Amino acid sequence: MNRQKTVIFGAALCVAGAAAGPSPGLAQTTFQNYGCADGSQFIVGFFEYDKRAHLQIDGKALTLGKRLALSGSRYSGGGITLTITKAGTTLKRAKRRATACEMI
């Protein structure tokens, strides 16, 4: 009888955990390193339940909001615009020309 209670409790705990959803530590995260034609380098992070891009550039962390794009994805904030399309990735900083970037 005691073993049956343990099995039932364990099954109930598994169902409760599944119903609660994934924990934040288990959420899918993608980090990508980029190098650009102008010598810039940056890391961008994407989190499963967040539409923003999290950028690490010039020793600073920036969060770029997702913007409307006709094709691909465009993120901007803090004077930086990151555009990711099938054709490639570009980084545009305030008062500078847009530069082509590729994953490294």
- Over pLDDT 90: what percentage of the chain? 69
End-to-end CA distance of the chain: 59
Phi/psi region, residue 88 (left: phi>0; alpha: psi -120 to 50; beta: rest), is left
Give pLDDT tens digits for 44-73: 999 999 999 999 999 999 999 999 998 999
Whether pLDDT at 21 is above 90:
no
CA distance 56 to 49: 19
Between residues 9 and 89, the one the model is more confident about: 89
Mean pLDDT, residues 87-97 taken together: 94
CA distance 24 to 18: 13
Mean pLDDT, residues 10-19 taken together: 38
pLDDT of residue 64: 97
| Fold of the domain built from segment(s) 25-103 | Lipocalin (2.40.128)
Would you list the domain boundaries of the chain?
25-103
pLDDT of residue 11: 36
